[in-house]
Every structure is written in C-alpha cells, then in structure tokens.
Structure 1
Amino acid sequence: MPVVTLEDIKSAKKTLDGVAKKTELDCSRTFSTMSGNQIYMKLENLQRTGSFKIRGAYNKIANLSDEQKEKGVVAASAGNHAQGVALGATKLGIDSTIVMPKGAPISKINATRSYGAEVILSGDTYDEAHEEEERYAEETGATIIPAFNDTDVIAGQGTIGLEIMEDLPDVDVVITPIGGGGLLSGVATAVKEINPEVEVIGVEAANAASMTASLKQGSLATLDNVDTIADGIAVKKVGDLTHKVVSNYVDHVVTVEEEEIAHAISLLMERAKLIVEGAGATTLAAVLNNKINMQGKKVAIVLSGGNIDLDMASTIIDRGMVKAGRRVTLLTSLQDVPGALSELLGVISQTGANVISVSHDRLCPEISLKQAQVQLTLETKDEEHINKIMTKLNDNNYKSKRIR
C-alpha cells in the first residue's frame, strides 16, 4: 500500500482552499541562461508564514477528530513548522502550544506568538524541546503535530506537486529540498502519479545528508551531527514513511555544499529580487553547480521558504560581494605624518574605487615607529578592478596586501 495516494493529495488541496496560497511558478530568464535549462521557480518563500509548512500542518490539524481538536495541538520547532502549526490551529479555532529551544531567535518566537500559539521555551537543543513536547502531550492530551513523518502532513505538502503539474504539465524535472523528507515525499507522489516520466530529484545539504545516508544503507540512518546554514533541513534522521516514499518515487538525491547554498541565496537576492532561506536555495544551488546532468529541460525548482535570519543574510551578502570581487579589504602602511592618509586616499580615488571604511593604526608592532598601518575596505567592480588598484598602490610606493 502507498503511504499517501494522489486522491489523498487532491483531498488535501480542497482542505487547503482559502488557507494556503497557490504560489506562482515563475520562469527565470537569468537562471535559465546560467544553467542551459528552462528554470521555473515555485515561490513557496512567498507562502503564508513564509514557507510551505502551512500546507502539511493545516491538513493534519483539519483531519483530527473532534475530541483531539478539543484538547489542542503541540509541536516542537524553532522555525517554519512552528509558524505553520500556529497559524493552522488558529484558523481552525484550536489551541496550539509550540515548544522552542531557549536560544531560538526572538523574531521566530514573536512570529509564532503572533499566529496565536502559546510558546514554551524549554531546553537548549531541538531534542530537548522535543522531550518537553512529548511530556506536554502526555500531561494534557494535546496531539503532537509531526514536522514530516505523517501521512496527512505529506499529503498537504504534496499539493505543491499538484500545482506544478497544473501550471507546467510538460515539465521534465521537479526538484525539492530534503530535510525530514515530507516535502519531497508529497511532491514526488503527486508528480509521479500524474506523470511517471517526470524526473523527481531531492537536494540535501552535504552537512546534513540523512536521506542520502539512509538510501545508501537501505534503512534509516542517524547522523552524529548536522551543521548547515540551511537550518530548515538540518535533520539528523528522516522518517520511516518519508524514506519509503523517496525510495519508491524519487529518481536521484544530490547534495550541495555550504558555499554553494550561500551563493544561491545571494544570487536569488541580486538577480531575482527574492529572499530565500538556506533550505529553499538548495534547489537552485544544485542546478547552478551541475549536480544534476541535464540540458535543455523544463525544470521546476521549489524555493521552500524565505524565513532567513537577517544576521545570516547580511553575512552571506558580505561574503558574496567579496567572492564576486565587488568588495575588497587591503592592508598597507604609510609615513605617520600629517597629510599622509589624505595622499593615500587620493591615490585610491584615482582608481574609481569607493571607500567603505578606513582603520588607521599607529600602534601595530609589525611596522616602524614612524609609520602607521592602514586597513581599507573598498567597493570595487570586479577582480580586474582590484588588480588595477593593487598595481596603482604599488606604483605609488604603497606596499599593500589583500586580506579579504
């Protein structure tokens, strides 16, 4: 027997009518040109609560018995699942409690509360929050809403697959991220039941590749550690249900590295004007880094969420600028006399670079007492521009080195 059927997913679609948005499937000329394929982005980062999770959470809660609804629901999560459960329960008039680790970002705590949930902060890790979730459920009778390993949750996530097939019936390849496997399982079931010829591919962060490990050994594998900027898919162990569906329906599972994910996030911001979290950007990262052997195909990639921490986004932008040659930090020295810094900046201005910051240090032990060390961060055009700046400085007797 299948874990979920196409009819289950169609039923979930009716349940979600008026709750989850039918998100746009947007063709990207930029990413199509870069990859040699026709790339269509399924914009679940613009879904209610900022991710696809509302689909599965609401479908699960809506299918509870009256007795279960009366006792409320509980979930352990520090991210998208928390907000999906909170909103889903509130829409149905059901009490919800979300257990979050004590160190959860205040923005996510506040967002979850704003959707109507009571938030309990417990433990320092997700596993400790999960223990409190189970204790709370046993004490109160509340129903635990799983993040991925549940038939109603999988069916809800599968509505994304239905929408893709409705909007692009001649699609060749569908790619989704993998965390616990609920999203991939639902999408794969919908797509393959409608058209078995469509290739379905899942993408994991290399530093959290629990599905890859499970498929390799033919049974559920538990990772010792997960460490990735794609926190939405940082799962040590996938579910037995999702493992079964992926084994039956999914053609390939590939992994992407941290720098590849970060670069995809920055490209989505700069070229598509989209805010996408690490988990959601894995699909584009896989396409642009040739993890999948395809050319000239119609490819739908699921951008699963947009709830990225602002500090992380800022760091990714800064690192992306450096990698693209758009920003550089140089170290040089000059005579510690009046006007020396002004002369240095005059040389910089001749190169057309924009000065972002200047640090002037007279106390550095690595230079003579009559000198000062200067660190410059400059906005530049590209690597060629940086090389011209270095040459200009050297021609004017400023010994300089690039430190970033």
Structure 2
Amino acid sequence: MTYLSFREVWEAKKRISSFVHPTPILYSEPLSDHTGAHVHLKLEHTHPTGSFKLRGAANKILSLDDKVLKKGVTTFSTGNHGISVAYVAAELGIPCTVCISNRVPKAKVNRLKKLHASVEVVGSSQDEAEARCAELEREDGMTVIKPFDDREIIAGQGTIALEIMEQCPEVDEVIIPLSGGGLLSGIAFVMKSMEPSIHITGVTMKKGAVMHESLAKGKPVILEESYTLADSLLGGIGTENRYTFPMTQAYMDKGVLVEESQIEEGLIFTLEHHKMVVEGAAATGIGHVLHSNDLKGKNVVVVLSGNNIDHDVVLNLLAKS
C-alpha cells in the first residue's frame, strides 16, 4: 500500500523553505570511539522552536487556503508540536489554541504563552486534549493540526531524510525517537524508498510506550501515561490511526525500549561531550547507542529531536551525576 509519495515530501521541502532551514549533522567522536561505529547526530533541536516538529506543522498549515486559515488553528500536544503550530500561526498572524494535558512541563507552557497562543490545560492525557480540539473545530471552525497522523505532517518530517542523504549518503542505520510515529514514518519512508538496506531503529521510553505496545498487539492500544524524562514521547497514537501505525509497521526494522537511567545518561553525555542541552526524548537515541553492541563499523545517524526541557530537570540530573 502507498501511504505517501516522494512528490509530497519534495513539495513539503519547497513549501516550508521560508520557515525551515536545513539542520546540521555533527560527527560525534566520543560516541564513535565508544561504539566503534561512525556516529553522526542530526541536530533537529536547532530549529527556532527547539524541535523537528516545525517541519510538519509548517507544511500542514501552509497547505491550507486563506479562508480556512482566518478561522485559526488548534492542536493537542505534549509541547513541541504545540510550540511549532503556535510559532507558525504567530508568523502568519492567525488565531491559535493549543490544548495540553497537565503533564506538560512548565518550560513548554511558558513558551506557548510567549508565542501568544491560547493555552487550554485539559485533563491528564493527550487523548483528553484531543477531544477538546474536536470541540473547538465543531464550535469555532478552527482547523485541527494533528501532531503526527496526517499526510502533510509526515511529509514535512520526511524532509529530514532528504537532508540526511545529502549530508551523510553513506548512512547504514538511522536511530529515531518514536512516539506517535510521524517522525519515524517520514524519515523511514524516504530512506527505504531510496535505499531499502538502510536500517531504521525506533527508540522510546519503557513507561507508556504506546506505539511499541500497539505494534506488539497488532492494533492501536490505549495506555495510561506516567512520568518519564522523555515526556515528549507521551501520548496515544489514536485508535483510528490511518498512517503512522501502518507505516511504522512497514518501515521500522527494530523497536527499542530505553530505561529511564539510560535516558538520563544520554542527556548528561550530550551535555558533557557536545555542550548541547537536549530533552529526554532526544536523549533516548544517545542512551540506546551508549548501550548498543551491534553498531561497530556502521555509519549511524541519531536524530536529536528537541531541546525543550525545564532547567530544573537538567540541574537535578547534574547534581545526581
């Protein structure tokens, strides 16, 4: 089955060019020495919104016509997608309401408010926030910008893969944080379309790993959310998931669950060795690499997905280390 076309990804690249500039790839000598691999870091946390989500949000919103845009947009988000939707909406001068759960860290809430978005805190899960967005769509005519299960969103994230292939064409494996699957679906689709032998690894935290459990059960499931350092990976995938569940099924070669201690280790390693602060979701890939024994000799790209983390969390981790 065809879930997406290469044309859509190239169209996304052109459409978002005024909002999104290519992000660098950094060769990690410390990780390469540690693993015996050639490890590169794709720095998606360097976008002005602090995460890769800007790509998909910009592509979706810019695909809407002016009449629809005037009524505004709304989204449900654990933070990064909401920040990106709010950023694009602010740049375009259109109304924006972001619905979030009470688990979203303070740093992300403050960032949303600085972008002049209307923020509604709804319940303790992303599913509850999603239900509120549906109400806003019915009542006010706002367009819901889904975080992941949407063709334009996936195509936007797929532009990362175009850059990886240009920057590191010798890549053998791409390690990608996995939550709703928009990031992995977009990158994996492009990679597998160009070179099927490229290995796609999805990494997620053990607590509330909805996509991982859904793949194991063969259908989307609902899990209760709980605290994790990788809070950006929280949230359901939707029981009526149309794209990212089957695309993850089709294109992911291996799914890995990462311990909280490994996420902490990845975050501290990135700070100490590369002087970069990333959030827990981004550190899952580093944490996995630090404990992998099957990467030797490979050309590996690890996607650092975002940097929106509370300062207090970083300070507490440094105090523990």
Give the 5 Å matches for 1:111-122: 111-122=111-122
Structure 1 unmatched runs, 5+: 322-404
**Mapping of residues 42-191 of structure 1, within 5 Å:** 42-101=42-101, 104-191=104-191
Once the two structures are TM-superposed, the CA of residue 153 in structure 1 deviates from its matched residue by 0.5
Query: Alpha carbon RMSD of aligned pairs, Å?
Result: 1.7
Aligned to 1:243: 245
Distance 1:141 1:111, change over 3 A: same
| 8 A contact 2:107–2:308 mirrored in 1 | no
CA distance in 1, matches of 2:103, 2:176: 29
**Residue 198 (structure 1) aligned with residue 210 (structure 2):** no
TM-score, with length taken from structure 1? 0.75
1:294 is aligned to 2:295 = yes
Amino acid across the alignment from 2:32: S
Q: Are the aligned partners of 1:28 and 1:40 in contact in 2 as well (CA < 8 Å)?
A: yes
Q: Deviations over 1:3-36 (max 9, x none)?
A: 2122111111111112112111000101100111
Q: Which residue of 2 aligns with 1:354?
A: none
209 and 121 in structure 1: CA distance in 2 versus 1, 3 angstrom threshold: closer
Alpha-carbon spacing, 1:42–1:82, altered in 2? closer, same or farther (3 Å):
same
SS at match of 2:49: helix
Contact 1:192 1:249 (C-alpha < 8 Å) held by counterparts: yes
The offset of 1:295, in angstroms, is 1.1
Provide Cα deviations, 1:338-357, integer angstroms capped at 9, x if missing partner: xxxxxxxxxxxxxxxxxxxx
After superposition, the Cα gap between the structure-2 partners of 1:126 and 1:275, relative to the gap in structure 1 and judged at 3 Å, is same
One-letter identity of the residue aligned with 1:298: N
For each residue in 1:273-321, what CA deviation from the matched residue of structure 2 results, as whole angstroms up to 9, or x when unmatched?
A: 010100001111111111x6221100000000011111211122122x2
C-alpha displacement at 1:132, in angstroms? Answer: 2.2
| Paired AA for residue 227 in structure 1 | Y
- For residue 305 of structure 1, what is the amino acid of its counterpart? G
Contact 2:78 2:234 in 1 (8 A): no
Cα distance between partner residues in 1 of 2:251 and 2:122: 38
Contact 1:220 1:240 in 2 (8 A): no
Distance in structure 2 (CA, Å) of the matches to 1:190 and 1:142:
31
Question: Which residue is 1:233 aligned to?
Answer: 233
Q: State the alpha-carbon separation in 2 of the partners of residues 103 and 262 from structure 1.
A: 19
TM-superposition CA deviations, 1:193-235 (whole Å, max 9, x none): 1111211111111113222222222221222344321000012
Structure 1 CA distance for aligned equivalents of residues 209 and 100 of structure 2: 24
Q: Identify, as 1 or 2, the structure richer in strand.
A: 1
CA contact (8 A) 1:45 1:275 kept: no
Query: Equivalents in 1 of 2:233, 2:265: separation in Å?
Result: 17
Give the structure, 1 or 2, with the largest relative contact order (CA under 8 Å, sep 6 or more). 2
Query: In 2, are the aligned partners of 1:40 and 1:301 still within 8 Å (CA)?
Result: yes
- AA matched with 1:42: K
Q: State how far apart, in whole Å, the 2-side matches of 1:100 and 1:92 are.
A: 22
Q: Give 1:38's aligned residue.
A: 38
CA–CA distance in 2 between the matches of 1:285 and 1:299?
14
Give the AA of the match of 1:93: G
Q: Does 1:269 align with 2:271?
A: yes
Give 1:310's aligned residue: 311
CA distance in 2, matches of 1:248, 1:273: 36
Separation of aligned partners in 1, 2:107 and 2:131: 23
User: Structure 2: how far apart are the matches of 1:38 and 1:104?
Assistant: 35
Which ranges in structure 2 are unaligned for 5 or more consecutive residues?
none
Q: Distance in 1 between matches of 2:107 and 2:127?
A: 21
Q: Is the partner of 2:193 in helix, strand or coil?
A: helix
CA contact (8 A) 2:78 2:231 kept: no
Largest Rg, 1 or 2: 1
Q: Aligned runs of 1:335-346 on 2, under 5 Å? A: none
Q: C-alpha separation between the residues in 2 aligned to 1:33 and 1:140?
A: 55
| CA 87–313 in structure 1, closer or farther in 2 if over 3 Å, else same | same
Residues 1:59 and 1:265: Cα distance change in structure 2 (over 3 Å): same
Q: 1:304 is matched by which residue type in structure 2? A: S
Deviation at 1:98, TM superposition (A): 1.4
- Give the letter aligned to residue 100 of structure 1: I
Between 227-236 and 97-106, the greater mean CA deviation after superposition: 97-106
User: What is the distance in 1 between the residues matched to 2:63 and 2:16?
Assistant: 11
8 Å CA contact 1:156, 1:186 repeated in 2: yes
Residue 105 and residue 201 in structure 1: after superposition, are their counterparts in 2 closer, same or farther (change >3 A)? closer
How far, CA to CA, are the matches of 2:220 and 2:129 in structure 1?
22
* 1:193 partner amino acid: S
Cα separation, partners in 2 of 1:231 and 1:318, compared to 1, 3 Å:
same
The letter for the 2-side match of 1:10 is W
Per the TM alignment, residue 123 of structure 1 is displaced from its structure 2 partner at its CA by 3.8
Count residues in correspondence. 319
What is the distance in 2 between the residues matched to 1:125 and 1:216? 22
Offset of residue 160 of structure 1: 0.7
Name the counterpart of 1:283.
285
